[in-house]
Amino acid sequence: VRTDSPDEARLEAWRLLLMAHARLVDVLGDELEAAHGLPLTWYDVLVNLRAAPEHALRMNDLADAVLLSRSGLTRLVDRMTAAGLVERRTCASDRRGQLAALTPAGRAALRAAAPTHMRGVAEHFAAHVSEAEAAAMSAALTRVVDAASRRPGRAAACGEAGTDPAPVRASAGARR
């Protein structure tokens, strides 16, 4: 693909980022669903909970991590609770807060699905990216993400002493 001007080169990169995202989320979602009947959104929630201290997160924080609206997340957690993968707990220190917590079944589902997903990412993404390219991408996109993240104040996690700034993790496709 020809990229004449410096500006054109960057636009082309943006265009490809959009295409790559769309294709991969589609493929990875299909594979996950076929192998484990697990929607990519659910997997994303499970991963974020697994990474959280106590395997639990407040609805607000989880919504940010999954990049869904607050009410959207309420409904998603409803479904996952009905499926037994997640349970609700009331926050001890602040009775307004609700925690979504991983159940044993949820942990099991994640443990079963993770290899499939990892293999998918390796096969459909990592295999086509050199180490240098990965480094360049990471450097650039870190700046992009930082610049675009001028919105929400991060709230403290519930049960803990205030020592842990919740890790904002990547999440799978949420389109507007």
Partner DNA sequence: TAAGATTGAATTGTCAATCTTC
Partner DNA sequence: GAAGATTGACAATTCAATCTTA
Instruction: State the residues that interact with DNA by CB under 7 A.
Output: 39, 41, 58-61, 68-79, 88, 91, 94-99, 155, 168, 170-172, 174-176
Strands 86-90 and 56-58: unpaired
Residue closer to a second copy (CB basis): 32 or 158: 32
Residues whose CB falls within 8 Å of the CB of residue 34, separated by 6 or more in sequence, listed in order: none
Shortest Å, Cβ 9 to DNA: 30
Which residues, 115 to 174, sit near a second copy by CB under 8 A?
A: 121-122, 124-145, 147-149, 168-174
* End-to-end alpha carbon distance in the chain: 29
Number of residues in contact with a second copy, rule: CB under 8 A? 66
Supply φ then ψ for residue 117, to 5 degrees: -65, -45
Residue closer to DNA (CB basis): 83 or 114: 83
Which residues, 19 to 78, sit near a second copy by CB under 8 A?
A: 19-27, 29-30, 33, 39-41, 67
Residue closer to DNA (CB basis): 75 or 143: 75
Residue closer to DNA (CB basis): 128 or 176: 176
Residue closer to a second copy (CB basis): 71 or 142: 142
Shortest Å, Cβ 37 to a second copy: 13
With CB under 5 to 8 Å by kind, the binding choice for 1 among a second copy, DNA, none is a second copy
Residues that bind a second copy (CB under 8 A): 1, 3, 6-7, 9-27, 29-30, 33, 39-41, 67, 121-122, 124-145, 147-149, 168-176
